């Protein structure tokens, strides 16, 4: 099990840049950022391997594949 971790600045940037509308409303953005603050701790406590999702996509995929091998 993997948990993809991103910092607040990255999440804000990605939500702002996406074509979908979810996360652009201030209340939705606040909910996403609040969830992000506890997400990694919650899943790592359950045994998830934390992956830095601020890396380029190819690097994230390579890291996951290498850990599965």
Report pLDDT for 69: 80
Q: Tell me the whole-structure pTM to 2 decimals.
A: 0.78
- Band (57; pLDDT cuts 50, 70, 90): very high
Segment 19-38 mean pLDDT: 93
38 is in which domain, residue-wise? 2-68
Q: Dihedral (C-alpha) 26, 28, 31, 37: value to the nearest 10 degrees?
A: -80
Report pLDDT for 59: 97
Dig out the tokens for 27 from the structure: 């209340």
pLDDT of 66 above 90: yes
Segment 43-49 mean pLDDT: 95
Domains: count for the chain:
1
Segment 22-32 mean pLDDT: 93
Q: Residue 13 in 3-state DSSP?
A: helix
First-to-final CA distance of the chain? 13
């Amino acid at each position: 099990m993997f948990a993809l971790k991103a910092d607040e600045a990255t999440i804000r940037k990605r939500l702002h840049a996406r074509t979908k509308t979810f996360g652009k409303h201030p209340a939705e953005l606040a909910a996403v950022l609040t969830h992000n603050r506890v997400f990694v701790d919650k899943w790592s406590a359950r045994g998830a391997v934390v992956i830095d999702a601020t890396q380029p996509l190819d690097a994230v995929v390579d890291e996951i594949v290498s850990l599965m091998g």
